[in-house]
Structure 1
């Protein structure tokens, strides 16, 4: 095994400076480089290292560097991969002491040295992986352009990773929104790029059926082995995510699960870890799951002696969690390598505390989703949630740095949860933070854009990525960043047409156009709804039926007189380009996405951003009322739904512009998903919190108030800490609970509303109680 050797990677570059004067000697030119590869590096890593450097430089410069097998006195630039103290008679300048990064596992050092023989750039790697990480840093740092390969003279950099495990999940399956359309070559290139940014592990999801995706170009049973080979080629760990049969107690399920795994293990040339989720999916009690895992480990060891079994406690209740950790405490099994923390696991700090030290703790963070997920987009406008959905292009460097620094210290590293290409920036952010959690996202993105887009565009493109994250911060109509972001990306689009075929470029541009289109639609459709309510206010004089007719005509202008169709056309164009370039499935009907939640952002681009669907349905009900008085009363209620009158307050709990809400959506699953995302309920009903908090400081202590709540299920409301008794308590959607507010509780004019969480652990989150709207109504 390569990692058992002390292998030193050296990249030695003897270069002629571009300028001869000492004052101007700032840039090294190695456009005529010759690469020297040490014979001590064993295959396949020896061939892989040289291939990476030659191919990646040639793609960006058009220059094909040559590889030599011996030292050449005429060599102006040499990349040397070596072990030992010398190479071809040249002494290797190792630093003394064991604390240097290049002496730590996977670490490396790059530095420029000037001598009479020329200028030398050394890249020293601690082991086989250090070779690739050193090459990655060189490629991310050098300024590569047509015919030019430049690096600053005096350059020096060294690092070793803080986290042992740094990987990403790449499930070759239909539910991924792009990968099921990939070839082996595309995976090879992508894994290479991830390694060059510091990743050391990849996790596949095997056992997919041949006909399970219309996009498969390779039999999934062939691909799952090919991915193993690619990992071996790049020295990366190959993981697999393989749930146990849903019910191990069913006759034959236990043995069938073992046999299925055994066949797969036998076919894989490389396999380092098997992750069996305890839940999501899986409903097995640990008393059934643990024996299965133990038997699985025996089969795994037959074919891959160094591989380990991992398990998560996702979906475990308190009894299951106690059973599992009691088992570890009593039996201390050696067959278990570690525990994976994922969504719906016990709290991450508690899980680490309960886990005996002999076991590793792997993080399984969800960096791919925006709603109904582990990490919600913070302060996201509802209009984006309704249209962009769960899997849009979602670069969030600042948010993920905060979350990484908060949660990762409880773990030994991570393999992120991903389901497509849309989170590409997030993968690089996590990989690089795995090396140095304090690394500035600006530095990471500068290297990302330089590597993938070129040195000349890198700096401005990096600003554009930060701008896309800023687009999502707060209420859309109060965010001036959206217009500026589009202007920036439009300039880049025009200035660098050569990047039009680059899928990373395409999806960033698509997001900029999409965000701007939603902004324009939201402003227009909100104005239409406001005008419709003005018409309803005239219902007493023009009649209920006429008011509804005219209000609907106004609302329907969203379809008959749509705005900003030029922006929409650009989005659709990039959707087609992304399908052609990287298989991105942005529509169920057009591109055969596996489902509406799986990146199908084009299917929701015109989803109503006002309540016109709800109003249409309400008007249909009202027309059947027996009396005009009933019709007028209901229309007045609808018109004043969000406007309860002077001295009263209303909040859509999950709206980014809610005035009084101080809590965040609990865990970003607060999005009512029904009818494949085309719910006709009020917009406020479609986002929720389980236990929101609200603060008010403008109440009149001399007045009586009624607190009204809408949502679903229970609402255990407290006012300034005191549980209130309801006088009305309906539990359905768009029904109401009402709580008289005792005047003595607001003697200072201040009110804090909170909700106790009911005991609903036995319910799936979709059936648990939630709050959508809160009114404080002055009587």
Structure 2
């Protein structure tokens, strides 16, 4: 932690304003670029291309590259330069001293004005150019930069990168051309990223690939060299206890190292995928370290503890303490790893620690969307367009102090904004999220007054907070994006703009559908409760017809048309695959939001199946009893209480939250016909009930799977009914002594299920506290 404190302090000091000048707006419209000849020729060409191309895109100004001083200049030099084309570097400016740091200074001398961009190294000049491009104000053939000080800026964290794996399971990367990869890597670098991670050894099984994985690996490696970025690769391995597999993996690695033109780090996960004991994995890493040094002498080897047991973690840390291998560069903490704090605490100081954050998924993941309505989970699913700048900024700052930085886990372009937020936060954790968004809007959308669009993007994040029915802000967000769409027609072909419009329309469509379909379901239950008077068969027929009206009537057809149009446009512009049929996505959980757009948001599938079961019953009294249970499932009557354990809209008594979102089921490839409440669960929830009648008798009923080891006010309660299958009941009588004070707390013990996969663990889906007078 001391090392990290020093890093943070140096970054803060270097980001202070150093040289006070009169605050003013500097006109760069007729400036010339002057670039030091001490910069390597290839990078000199790269940095010139970046500035000329981006400034033309923003302001339609073709800024000339010059070797002569003019009245207005943008000068790029290295801190080690004594002068630039006969002129000394500006006096009184603190030159950048830390790796990747830069200074920006204004100077007036002999009738000319110069903006100096001075880098500690070549990569630093890229970040200085990024600073300029993010902060410049522009109009048609007009560029200005408002500044009242010289600044020196240095990154707080040395690792700042993103995984852009060229593989079939990505929702977009596999359809990119080399030009799209180059453009995206440039953009990430201009926002402060210094590392790109690829997944190079995939088979070319994607119908979208324009290059083989081997060809694209070579090209991405070259792109990283072009932009002076670190090139990482993620390379899982097979069963290393098998000598044949061990030798095959060794040869595969050696061949790859030889063929890769630039390679800075390799990351071999301990799990997800992989199931090797660290004993075998460490032996393999030591073996391949020689091959790596042979072709890339300065490259580092990294491993993760994903999926490791306590014994395996203990083995690894003991090995590092005792053997202290120099061939290992560091440890990566990703999904399924021990906590970042515990890892940093146990990790010897000589080894670096990298975060591998999942910023691309919403459920069943490392950092799930909090308080997410089931309506969104069923339709948008695990991999939607997910701009959540404030949430992911919070995640970064919470865990970054335990690390030396991050390379994010990403499976596509859906998390685009989150990448840029993390890139900036890795440079400066104290940078305001709204300022990052303003830079994003100015740079990518070419909007010089970013505030309305910044607010509209922030509103998309707010759309996902809490119960969808109660969130009227969703409609306000749609109206604002409709207005912006009309105001900026030139952006209609911009894929980042299209993603925002897609989400605004999608969210509103789901809210309208949810309100409508839930109303149909309530009406259906009222019909069912009339079964005693209108007849059982007739009641089921009418109730099913009512809930099925959602299949024949679309509550928002214009929104649906626009959603399809945006999805198709995104497929054409950036290869975002929102459908298996239309866009040949690799699987339904891989961003196929279009395929689930009309997924049922009421229980019509479940009711149809339950009615067939009722029809098979022989006794009318039994049928009526079951129909009453179905109709009153979530409305048990006055004095009784119901909670759907992980439904944010229907769990008023639940105190617990599942922070990996494994409480959202993924059954039958997203097409489960189970009751919607059954598809939400917790393993060991805690509930609190108040305002109970101290003179009443109560019964606790539970629906779920497996065991339910229930306690009331800390005391274990024996069941009077104990079925273990889904949508069957367990029941527990509550002794009146617990409710005499008008309240109870309900908790659950954890059953011994270490021998089971987590998917087979016991689940609590629904809980009733039923008054029994």
> 1:639-678 alignment to 2 at 5 Å?
639-657=631-649, 658-678=651-671
Counterpart in 1 of 2:565? 573
Per-residue deviation at 1:253? 0.2
Aligned match of 1:92: 89
Paired residue for 2:245, among 231, 253, 260? 253
Aligned to 1:423: 415
Moved more, 34-43 or 748-757: 748-757
Deviation, 1:95, is 5.0
Report the 3-state secondary structure (helix = DSSP H, G, I; strand = E; otherwise coil) of the residue aligned with 1:328.
helix
Aligned partner of 1:28 in structure 2 is: 26
Change (3 A) 1:195 1:120: same
Shift of 1:155: 5.3
Equivalent position SS for 2:301: strand
> Alpha-carbon deviation of 1:352?
1.2
Residue 417 of structure 1: how far off its partner (Å):
0.4
Q: Which residue in 2 is equivalent to 1:5?
A: none
More displaced 10-residue stretch of structure 1: 124-133 or 426-435: 124-133
CA distance in 1, matches of 2:363, 2:442: 31
Structure 2 CA distance for partners of 1:762 and 1:105, relative to 1, 3 Å: farther
TM-score between the two structures when normalised by the length of structure 1: 0.94
SS across alignment from 1:57: helix
Tell me the equivalent position of 2:131.
137
Taking the TM superposition and a 5 Å limit, the aligned residue runs for 1:484-523 are 484-523=476-515
Equivalent-residue separation in structure 1 for 2:715 and 2:152 (angstroms): 58
Matched, 1:737 2:733: no
Distance, in Å, in 2 between the alignment partners of 1:145 and 1:172 is 37
1:409 and 1:335 map into 2 onto residues whose CA distance is 25
Alignment partner of 1:46 out of 44, 61, 80:
44
Matched, 1:472 2:469: no
Deviations 1:16-40 (A, max 9, x none): xxxxxx99x9422222221111011
What is the DSSP-based 3-state SS (H/G/I as helix, E as strand, rest coil) of the residue aligned with 2:292?
helix
1:3 matched residue in structure 2: none
- The C-alpha deviation readout for 1:245-287, integer Å capped at 9, x for no partner, is 1x22234100000111111111111111110100101111112
1:335 Cα deviation (Å)? Answer: 0.9
- Aligned partner of 1:81 in structure 2 is 77
**Structure 1 residues 349 and 94, CA, compared in 2 at 3 Å: closer, same or farther?**
farther
What is the aligned partner in structure 2 of residue 379 from structure 1? Answer: 371
Match of 1:4 in 2: none
1:750-765 matches, cutoff 5 A: 750-765=743-758
* Structure 1 residues 457 and 684: CA distance shift in structure 2, 3 A: farther
Equivalent position to 2:206, from 213, 217, 222: 213
Residue range with higher mean Cα deviation, 604-613 or 281-290: 281-290
Counterpart in the other structure of 2:710: 717
Cα distance in structure 1, aligned partners of 2:397 and 2:365: 19
Match of 2:326 among 321, 329, 334: 334
Give the 3-state SS of the residue equivalent to 1:56 in structure 2. Answer: helix
Matches within 5 A, 1:567-606: 567-606=559-598
Whether 1:119 aligns to 2:113 is: yes
Q: Is the CA contact (8 Å cut-off) linking 1:666 and 1:690 kept in structure 2? A: no
Q: 2: distance between equivalents of 1:499 and 1:651?
A: 45
1:103 is displaced (CA, Å) by 2.1
The corresponding residue for 1:204 is: 198
Structure 1 partner of 2:433: 441
CA distance in 1, matches of 2:498, 2:163: 23
- 1:666–1:691 contact (8 Å) kept in structure 2: no
Matches of residues 604-643 of structure 1 in structure 2 within 5 Å? 604-643=596-635
Q: Is the 8 A contact 1:277 1:313 kept in 2?
A: yes
Q: Secondary structure at the match of 1:623?
A: helix
Aligned with 2:400 (options 385, 393, 408): 408
Residue among 59, 62, 69 paired with 1:61: 59
For this pair of structures, how many residues does the alignment match?
750
- Please name the residue that 2:521 is paired with: 529
CA distance in 2 between partners of 1:763 and 1:297 (Å):
36
SS of the counterpart of 1:601? Answer: coil
**Equivalents in 1 of 2:453, 2:627: separation in Å?**
50
Q: CA deviation at 1:156?
A: 4.2
Displacement of 1:631 in angstroms is 1.4
The alpha-carbon deviation at position 562 of structure 1 amounts to 1.5
Write the distance in 1 (CA, Å) between the matches of 2:762 and 2:150.
57
Query: Which has the higher mean CA deviation after the structures are superposed, 715-724 or 460-469?
Result: 715-724
CA distance in 1, matches of 2:93, 2:578: 54
Superposed, 1:303-318 pairs within 5 Å as: 303-318=295-310
Q: Secondary structure at the match of 2:400?
A: helix
Report how far residue 462 of structure 1 moved: 1.1
**1:549-583 Cα distance to aligned partner (Å, 9 max, x none):** 11111111101112101011110000010000000
Partner residue, 1:7: none
- Matched-pair contact (CA < 8 Å) for 2:698–2:769: yes
- Give a deviation string over 1:115-140, Cα, whole Å, max 9, x none: 44233222222222211111001000
Residue of structure 2 aligned with 1:679, choices 672, 675, 697: 672
Equivalent pair of 1:665/1:688 in contact (CA under 8 Å): no
Distance 1:188 1:548, change over 3 A: same
Q: CA deviation at 1:153?
A: 4.7
1:292: how far off?
Answer: 0.7
Structure 1 segments unaligned to the other structure (5+ residues): 1-21
| CA deviations over 1:85-140 (Å, ceiling 9, x no partner) | 3212222136576xx7x322212222333444233222222222211111001000
The 1:198–1:153 alpha-carbon spacing in structure 2 relative to 1, beyond 3 Å, is closer
- The match for 2:553 is 561
How much has 1:315 moved relative to structure 2?
A: 0.6
Is 1:147 the counterpart of 2:127 in the alignment? no
Query: Residue 227 of structure 1 aligns with which residue?
Result: 220
TM-score, normalised via structure 2 length: 0.95
What does residue 232 of structure 2 align with? 239
Q: What is the rounded CA distance, in whole Å, between the counterparts of 1:276 and 1:617 in structure 2?
A: 47
Q: 1: distance between equivalents of 2:249 and 2:152?
A: 46
State whether residues 391 and 599 of structure 1, in contact with CA within 8 Å, keep that contact through their aligned partners in structure 2. yes
SS at match of 1:438: coil
* Structure 2 gap segments, 5+ residues each: 1-20
The 1:614/1:223 distance shift into structure 2, 3 A limit, reads same
Note if 1:349 corresponds to 2:341.
Answer: yes
Say which SS state the counterpart of residue 718 (structure 1) adopts.
strand
Contact 1:177 1:419 in 2 (8 A): yes
C-alpha separation between the residues in 1 aligned to 2:378 and 2:569? 24
State the distance in 2 between where 1:51 and 1:78 align. 14
Residues 93 and 150 in structure 2, CA contact (< 8 A), matched pair in contact too? no
Q: What CA RMSD, in Å, does the superposition of the two structures yield over aligned residues?
A: 1.6
1:514 shift after superposition: 0.1
Residue 109 to residue 750, structure 1, CA distance change in 2 (3 Å): farther
For 2:241 and 2:735, the matched residues in 1 are separated by 55
CA deviation digits over 1:143-186, x for unaligned, max 9? 13321112115354432111110000000001000010001110
| 1:32-55 deviation per Cα after TM superposition (whole angstroms, max 9, x unaligned) | 221111011114322211111011
